[in-house]
Structure formats: C-alpha cells, structure tokens
Amino acid sequence: MAIAINPAFENFSQKAAGWDEKKQHANTWPWGDTWDPEKCNHAEDHNPAAGGYKVNQSAPVGSYPDGASPYGCMDMAGNAYEWVADWYKCYPGSPKPLDHTNAFRGVKGACWDDGPSAVRCACRIWYLPPSSSGTGPGDSDYIGFRVAC
C-alpha cells in the first residue's frame, strides 16, 4: 500500500505507524489515544496473544490484530523496536542537541521488554547499526524492521 507523506512527519514509517487520516491526527498508539494493554506486546502483558508463545519475548507479527494502525500496519508499538533508515540525531530546536550520524541508527516503537510509558508510535531511541560489533546475539529479539513505501 502506498502512503502519501505529510510534511509534518519525519518519514513514511512514522505516518504508517499512527496517522489517522480521518481525524488528521497522529495517534499516541497505533490504534488511537487510549492505552489498551491487550493491543500490543509489552513488559506488563500477562495475556499473550494467540500462537502459544511465552510472556516476555517477541511474538509473531500480527499476533495483536486489534493493535493495527489505521493503515493496517502491525506491531508498530511494542513487540520489537523497528530499525528505520535514519541516523539518530535530535529534532531541530532540541534543548540538548546531539548528532549520532554515522554512529547510531534510529529505532522506533519500543519492544516487548518496555513498559506502557515507552510503548508508543513515537518512541524513538538510538542503537548501534546491525553491522557493528555492539549488537549481540541477545539483542536479536528486541529489534525488527519498520518498512513503508
């Protein structure tokens, strides 16, 4: 599905994660602005989705269909951080600007190990690129991909 970009968005993936076209509004979570612990995989999830996986680990994509974004994108908050194409640097106007270009890549969406306050469409942190020596075998279930075209 092609998604037209709104200049207010950093990139296509941010729009795919939580933009509500009808309301012309960026959702806090892919499904809306009201937290629902049953709509994503997170640290306080005690009712794992269908599929028989264990609590406190990544789940198969689409295990939380009620948590889909308005564009139908799955797992855009919780389950696994998503690599994005951007190098990590602060947004313009940040009071403590930093630029990790060529050092750290951006990841978004939070993961199964994060609590509800971090599990948001706009959750954005940095991580070493996958080709660096800093990403260890234990990190593989924390990070996935966010793809939008």
18-43 confidence digits (pLDDT tens) = 899 899 999 999 999 999 988 888 88
Q: How high is the pLDDT of residue 3? A: 40
Q: Which residues pair with 25 in a beta bridge?
A: 20
More confident residue, 73 or 83: 73
Q: Which residue is associated with the tokens 């959750």?
A: 123
Q: To the nearest 5 percent, what fractions of the chain are helix, strand and coil? A: 10, 15, 70
Tell me: the pLDDT tens digits for 46-78?
765 544 456 677 888 888 899 999 999 888 888
- Residue 92 in this model has a pLDDT that exceeds 60: yes
Average pLDDT, the chain: 77
Is residue 9 scored above 50 in pLDDT?
no
Is 142 in contact with 124 (CB distance < 8 Å)? no
Residue that the structure tokens 């948001």 belong to: 120
> Domains in the chain, please, with CATH?
1-149 (3.90.1580.10)
pLDDT band at residue 111 using 50, 70 and 90 as cut-offs: confident
- pTM to 2 decimal places: 0.75
Q: Which of 70, 62, 60, 76 is nearest to 141 (CA)?
A: 60
The answer to whether residue 143 scores a pLDDT higher than 70 is: yes
